[in-house]
Amino acid sequence: MIDPAAFFKSEFDEHEAVVAATREALAEPFERTLEVWTRAIEGGNKIVFFGNGGSASDAQHLATELTVRYKENRPPIAAIALTTDTSALTAIGNDLGFEQLFARQISALCRPGDVAVAISTSGTSPNIIAALNEARRMGVAATAFGGKDGGDMVGLADPILIVPSNTTARIQEMHITLGQMLCGALELRLGLVPE
C-alpha cells in the first residue's frame, strides 16, 4: 500500500536533485542553443519542434510560446510543431511508415537556416533519428532535448540538452522548464520584450 506522504516527499526529492544536476550540467549547451535559435530567427527562418507522446505535447507547447507570446505581448516568432496536422501524420504513417513521420515534414517544410528541435527522453525513437538525419542532410540546424545518455541523438544534434536523469517524468519536467527558459531568453535576445 502506498504511503502518500512518503511518495510525495520522494518525488519532490528526486525532482530537486534533477533540477540541481541540470542546472550544473547544462548552462553551456543552453547558451549555444539560444545562439542557434537566435541566429535562425534573425535570419528570417523558423524553429520546428517535434517529439512523440508527452514530447509531442511539449513541442506544441513551445511552438505556441513563440508564435503567441511567453510573458508579454510582442511580435510573433516563427515556430511550428510537426505533431499537429492529423492528415499529414496519418497519411505519412499509413503510406510511408511511422519512421518517416517527422522526416517527411522536415523535407517539405524546412529550408537551410531553419532549426529542427527534437524532443525525446530516450533519444532512440526511429522517427526522431530519421528527422535529425534529414535536417542535417538539408542544412537545417539539428538541435535536441534529451535525457539519460542522449541515445542515438548524440552526434546528430548539436547542441543537445541532455537532462542528467534516467527517469522519464523528471526528464520531461526539465524539458519543459528548459524550453520555456529558452523562449523567455529568445524574446529578450531578439529585443522583443524589455529586460
Alpha-carbon distance of 126 to 129, in angstroms, equals 5
- pLDDT digits 0-9 by tens, 72-95: 999 999 999 999 999 999 999 999
| Residues 6 or more apart whose Cβ sits within 8 Å of residue 101 | 82, 89, 92, 93, 127, 131
- pLDDT digits 0-9 by tens, 151-188: 999 999 999 999 999 999 999 999 999 999 999 999 99
Residue 119 to residues 3, 141, 192, 195: CA-CA distances in angstroms?
Answer: 33, 14, 26, 28
For residue 138, pLDDT over 90 is answered with yes
CATH code given to domain 4-189:
3.40.50.10490
Provide the 3-class DSSP secondary structure of residue 145.
strand
pTM across the whole model: 0.96
Domain ranges of the chain: 4-189
Alpha-carbon distance of 33 to 4, in angstroms, equals 39
The amino acid sitting at 98 is F
- How confident is the model at residue 195, as a pLDDT? 85
Angle value at C-alpha 30, between 155 and 53, nearest 5 degrees: 70
